[in-house]
Structure 1
Amino acid sequence: MDFEKLRLFAKVAELGSLTKVAIMLDSTQSAISRRLSALERDCGARLFHRTGRGVTLTPFGDRLLPRVRALLLEVNQLSHDIHSAAGVPVGEVTIGMLPSMAHPLVGLLFRITRRTYPGIRLRVYEGLGGQLEEWLATGKIDVAILFRYGKGRSTDSQLLARVDTYLIGPPGDPITKPPTVRFAQLNRLPLVLTGPPSRMRSMLGQISRRKGISLSVFLEADSLTIQKDIVAAGDAYAVLALPAVYREVQLGRLQASRIVNPSIERMITLSSSTHHPQSLAARAVVQLIQKVVDEFTDTFTWRRRP
């Protein structure tokens, strides 16, 4: 059995595009197509429907994919276990992060990992909270860094730090110029927020109803970049954690004022997938993530875990 062909099959199924896979593998679309055709001949059935917009799984391919993914996980785990017998963490570790957390953490985590464990390869996925939890459940990612609110932290997650929530405005804006802003001041402000389902949206809605004020969501955008661009242009305000805009605030491109009365505290948590056993490499990266978050605590006014 050619495991490289099976890995290619799983990757094409994930991305839904021969072109994207070819770019990722530094190959050509025709070469990827030939390798898939060879696998289909080995299987005696078509795995994908080819369309003008990409590829989709055939019913046979859809039935085969979960078994292939499980087999590849076993193969990877066996490789990790062989190396782990010597106590050396090696292999790929997949990490899921919210866009607002990825910028401040990934660079330092990559540098520390490369220096400490050169045999570990990091792969980072960005996604919203629901996506990250789904990827954990299916085993697509090994660990995820998530925001939790109030008492919503699950029993299998580890608290890394606590962080406040800020109203983000453009340079020179009088509302976000002071260090704090009362929640009531959000009344009828033009806002750009992440679209539902979103725990932050739910919490903002609950507080606004309790306070008897109206939140005016002018634009829903899951993209952090779009939110920041809209705010910088002076068209709306955003509600974000400070790490999401720390660089822009330092450069004077945005302003951030901590929301109070009530303050909105988020917990930065680390969760691991229970879909497959955690490799030695994944355990090593979890320890490094804890170290990186601790290093950022003072910079982003995070509060350390108890």
Structure 2
Amino acid sequence: MNPASVRLFLEVADTGSLSKVALRRQTVQSHISRQIADFEASCGGRLFHRTGRGVTLTELGERAARRLRAWLHDTEQLESEMRADAGQLLGEVRLGILPSAAHPLMTRLFEQLQREHPGIRLSIAEAQGAELDLMLDTGAVDLAILFRAQQPNGRDETALCVAHTYLVAAPGDALTQAPVLPFEQLRDLRLVLPRRPGQWRQTLDEAARACGFRLDAAVEADSLTAQKELAAAVPGLYAVLGPYAVAEAVAAGRLQASQLVEPDLCRHVVLAMPSQGKLSAATRAVATQIQALTERWGHQLTEPAPG
């Protein structure tokens, strides 16, 4: 069994799309399709149903995915441990992250790994809430940086920092000049909000209901970039975002932000690990570096300003 073929099979199973995998791997769909067909032949039967909307696993495919995911994990772990015994850390670590962790945390993490463990390759997938949880549960990533509503208390999650919530607008906006604002001030404001369904949108809607009003979603967008650009470009339009999503734009004077209180919608940024299975030596090294960076920055996702 070829680990590269198994990885491709599991990637197609997780995405449900040959075209998405081809795009990710910067190749043509026909090349991916041929590789999958060859892999199916080696397994003795069809692993996927082909539909107009993508692919789904057959019953044989479901059984194969469960067994091969465990096999691949054990194989990669054995390789990693043998290399660690030889005094070097090698291998790929798949890391799922929130968009707001992309920079500078990932930049500094990569730089540090290049200095201390150049044999470790990072594979970074950016996603939101429930999608990151699913990726972790299915083994699509080895570690994930995500939000939790409560302080983590299990062995599988480590607290990195706390993210408060901010009302964000264009520079010069009168309302967001105050350092803090009661959540009640969102009443009757035109907002750009994440689309339903979603955990963060649900949290915002519930907070508004508790204050006796409904949020006015003038625009709905899941993209943090779209939310920030709309708030920066349209006077009287506001976004509700965390500090790490807007820190750079606020520092550059492109946005203005005021912390929301009463209630303080506080989220915990955690480093989550699979609930089952041992971490490879390379994965443990990446987890250690992430925790060390955020601790050195005062339990923040962004490094403090010089001086």
Class of the TM-score when normalised by the shorter of the 2 chains:
0.7 to 0.9
In structure 2, what is the Cα distance between the partners aligned to 1:40 and 1:148?
A: 39
Query: Which residue identity is paired with 1:217?
Result: A
| Structure 1: runs of 5 or more not aligned | none
- Residue 263 (structure 1) shift: 2.8
**Structure 1 residues 282-302: Cα deviation after superposition (integer angstroms, max 9, x where no partner):** 111111101222344488799
| Structure 2 CA distance for partners of 1:73 and 1:79, relative to 1, 3 Å | same
Contact 2:161 2:270 in 1 (8 A): yes
In structure 1, what is the Cα distance between the partners aligned to 2:58 and 2:177?
A: 56
- Residue 53 (structure 1) shift: 4.7
In structure 1, what is the Cα distance between the partners aligned to 2:101 and 2:126?
A: 9
Contact 2:95 2:144 in 1 (8 A): yes
In structure 2, what is the Cα distance between the partners aligned to 1:216 and 1:203?
A: 15
CA RMSD of aligned residues (A): 2.7
Query: Which residue identity is paired with 1:171?
Result: P
- Residue 26 (structure 1) shift: 4.8
**Structure 1 residues 191-228: Cα deviation after superposition (integer angstroms, max 9, x where no partner):** 22223454443443443334334422333322212212
- Residue 169 (structure 1) shift: 0.8
Q: TM-score normalized by structure 2?
A: 0.86
Percent identity between matched residues is 43
1:69 aligns with 2:35: no
Q: TM-score normalized by structure 1?
A: 0.86
| Structure 2 CA distance for partners of 1:215 and 1:30, relative to 1, 3 Å | closer
Alignment match, 1:131: 131
**Structure 1 residues 59-103: Cα deviation after superposition (integer angstroms, max 9, x where no partner):** 432332222222211211111121122343221112222222323
Moved more, 193-202 or 178-187: 193-202
In structure 2, what is the Cα distance between the partners aligned to 1:272 and 1:231?
A: 35
Alignment match, 2:223: 223
In structure 1, what is the Cα distance between the partners aligned to 2:172 and 2:50?
A: 53
Alignment match, 1:81: 81
In structure 2, what is the Cα distance between the partners aligned to 1:90 and 1:179?
A: 47
Moved more, 261-270 or 284-293: 261-270
| Structure 2 CA distance for partners of 1:185 and 1:53, relative to 1, 3 Å | same
- Residue 139 (structure 1) shift: 2.3
- Residue 41 (structure 1) shift: 2.4
Query: Which residue identity is paired with 1:8?
Result: L
Contact 1:192 1:236 in 2 (8 A): yes
- Residue 153 (structure 1) shift: 3.0
- Residue 51 (structure 1) shift: 4.5
Alignment match, 2:152: 153
Contact 2:104 2:303 in 1 (8 A): no
Alignment match, 2:241: 240
SS in 2 for 1:245: helix
- Residue 167 (structure 1) shift: 0.6
| Structure 2: runs of 5 or more not aligned | none
Query: Which residue identity is paired with 1:79?
Result: E
- Residue 24 (structure 1) shift: 3.9
In structure 2, what is the Cα distance between the partners aligned to 1:228 and 1:112?
A: 30
| Structure 2 CA distance for partners of 1:275 and 1:105, relative to 1, 3 Å | same
Query: Which residue identity is paired with 2:247?
Result: Y
In structure 1, what is the Cα distance between the partners aligned to 2:200 and 2:2?
A: 46
After TM superposition, the structure 1 = structure 2 runs for residues 106-121 of structure 1, keeping only pairs within 5 Å, are 106-121=106-121
